[in-house]
A and B are shown apart, each in its own frame.
Chain A
Amino acid sequence: MTGAGYERLSRDRMAARVARDIPEGAYVNLGIGLPTMVANHLPKDREVFLHSENGLLGMGPAPKAGDEDYDLINAGKQPVTLLPGGAFFHHADSFAMMRGGHLDICVLGAFQVSATGDLANWHTGAADAIPAVGGAMDLAIGAKRTFVMMEHTTKTGESKIVERCTYPLTGIGCVSRIYTDLAVIDVTPHGLRVVETVEGLEHAELERITGLPLLPAA
């Protein structure tokens, strides 16, 4: 408890919350890091096709210790498994699946998301940082719906949902829904609309933390 009458979601509970919104039959790419945890919360009886940008569909869980095959890895270069019915393909086909709008949902981490759905998640912009983009820009704009999953605020308490991104952009207007440890928020043509908040968190308090006007939950 924070003493403020509400409790922030753990990373596991955030992952479980995102998993609730992934329906049977969806083609889904889970980004590196926090989004990877969503896979652990998909119910076993729900068939979801997990895509990994390095060239597989039907990705299964991590292999048992000792069974690792480093020719069978995910985008984070961790060993994974392939489910029966899974397929391998080359990189141009893999990114055609994204860019071509064939994936239903992509879940990404973020440094910042703007009020209009701009995403910043590839580079802090620090002068001495070595840039690395990977598939972030392709993923951001490719799927039918792009979900962002992140802590609502930075370690120093600033909102990661911002009027305009100050970090270098990954994509413009590409985010459809934001899952944080405080709320689920849709990016709509009318502005950011709260879908739900953690128990005990008042709308006004969420707006204060976010520092932006938010449309109330319907």
Chain B
Amino acid sequence: MIDKTFPSVDAALEGVHDGSTVMIGGFGGAGQPNELIDALIAQGAKDLVVVNNNAGNGETGLAALLKAGRVRKIICSFPRQVDSQVFDGLYRSGRLELELVPQGNLAERIRAAGAGIGGFFTPTGYGTALAEGKETREIGGRMYVLESPIHADVALIKAERGDRWGNLVYRKTARNFGPVMAMAAKLTIASVHEIVPLGELDPEHIVTPGIFVHRVVRVARSATGPAGFRAAA
């Protein structure tokens, strides 16, 4: 019987090696798998390359992983936030490398890795500092930049419900990077708030089919807190 469920987050994090590229889902706090990140800190892997939209909020979750000194480089689109003090300090003191990627390029580079695409031409960023040194091409009268896929050794994602085959559904905008990151990693570990029997997830509604998911672990439900909030004008 196939059973991808794991009894604990610690068990689910076994085998993450030093030097791994780790994708971590989430947009600010929504979809950030805090329990898996805490387990990664406890597990001890270091010299990591982390892929996330942001670079941590406050002192918990991804910020705690950075603070623990486990991350060599971060690939993200929006590191600077009102509560990104951990990242800010490490970056300014030269202890953390940053690869800044426009958000849509980040999502598409991750998707490309999962979809077996060797690279793609995108209009985003053409003529800007973030496309410097990259191959460009005119296609149909418009200028495009060649972007490469981002592969990962491990993806840590947060979903709402899953089953023992690894099928997942998400909750509201906490979905964000989960589905594409699940596709792009050799080992995808999903935390869910509920593990349901096979067949209970409506096959018409499954967002991430189990083929992309290797380990599922249940964590207690806790309300997502505010993070990275920027006051409106």
Give A contacts to B, CB under 8 Å. Answer: 11, 32-34, 36-37, 52-56, 68-73, 76-79, 82, 88-92, 94-96, 98-99, 109, 123, 128-138, 141-142, 168-172
Q: Are B224 and A70 in contact (CB under 8 A)?
A: yes
The total of interchain contacts (Cβ-Cβ below 8 angstroms) comes to 173
Tell me the complex Cα distance, A169–B131, Å: 11
Q: Are B170 and A88 in contact (CB under 8 A)?
A: yes
- Which residues of the other chain, A, contact B130 by a CB distance below 8 angstroms? 133, 137
Q: Is the interface of A mostly helix, strand, loop or mixed?
A: loop
- Which residues of the other chain, B, contact A142 by a CB distance below 8 angstroms? 104, 124
- Which residues of the other chain, B, contact A95 by a CB distance below 8 angstroms? 103-104, 107-108
**Is residue B102 within 8 Å, beta carbon to beta carbon, of the partner chain?**
yes
Q: Are A73 and B77 in contact (CB under 8 A)?
A: no
Contact of B172 among A72, A98, A109 (CB under 8 A): A72
Min CB distance, A64 to chain B, in Å? 16
- Which residues of the other chain, A, contact B102 by a CB distance below 8 angstroms? 133-138
Tell me the complex Cα distance, A211–B92, Å: 38
Q: Are A133 and B100 in contact (CB under 8 A)?
A: yes
Contact of B233 among A33, A79, A168 (CB under 8 A): A33
A-B contacts, 27 of them at CB < 8 A, read A33-B233, A52-B173, A53-B104, A55-B27, A70-B223, A70-B226, A71-B31, A71-B171, A73-B28, A76-B229, A77-B29, A77-B30, A82-B172, A88-B172, A92-B110, A99-B104, A109-B233, A128-B92, A130-B88, A131-B79, A131-B80, A132-B80, A132-B81, A133-B103, A137-B130, A138-B103, A142-B104
Q: Is the interface of B mostly helix, strand, loop or mixed?
A: loop
- Which residues of the other chain, B, contact A54 by a CB distance below 8 angstroms? 27, 30, 173, 176
User: Chain B residue with minimal CB distance to A129?
Assistant: B80
- Which residues of the other chain, A, contact B30 by a CB distance below 8 angstroms? 54, 70-73, 77
Per-residue interface assignment for chain B, residues 13 to 27, with 1 indicating a CB less than 8 Å from any chain A CB and 0 otherwise: 000000000000001
Report how many residues on chain B are interfacial, defined by Cβ distance under 8 Å.
Answer: 60
Q: Give the contact stretch, choosing among B42-50, B58-66, B177-185, B195-203.
A: B177-185
**Is residue B228 within 8 Å, beta carbon to beta carbon, of the partner chain?**
yes
Supply 15 further A-B pairs (C-beta < 8 A) apart from A71-B172, A133-B77, A134-B78. A52-B173, A53-B104, A55-B176, A70-B29, A70-B225, A71-B174, A77-B27, A88-B170, A90-B177, A90-B178, A92-B108, A94-B104, A99-B104, A133-B102, A133-B130
- Which residues of the other chain, A, contact B27 by a CB distance below 8 angstroms? 54-55, 73, 77, 91
Q: Are A171 and B127 in contact (CB under 8 A)?
A: yes
Tell me the complex Cα distance, A54–B178, Å: 12
- Which residues of the other chain, B, contact A71 by a CB distance below 8 angstroms? 30-31, 171-174, 224
Contact of A53 among B92, B103, B125 (CB under 8 A): B103
Min CB distance, B62 to chain A, in Å? 14
Per-residue interface assignment for chain B, residues 53 to 78, with 1 indicating a CB less than 8 Å from any chain A CB and 0 otherwise: 10000000000000000000000011
Whether A56 contacts B103 in the complex (CB less than 8 A), given A91-B180, A137-B125, A172-B127, comes out as no
**Is residue B105 within 8 Å, beta carbon to beta carbon, of the partner chain?**
yes
Whether A37 contacts B175 in the complex (CB less than 8 A), given A130-B80, A134-B78, A172-B127, comes out as no
Tell me the complex Cα distance, A94–B111, Å: 12
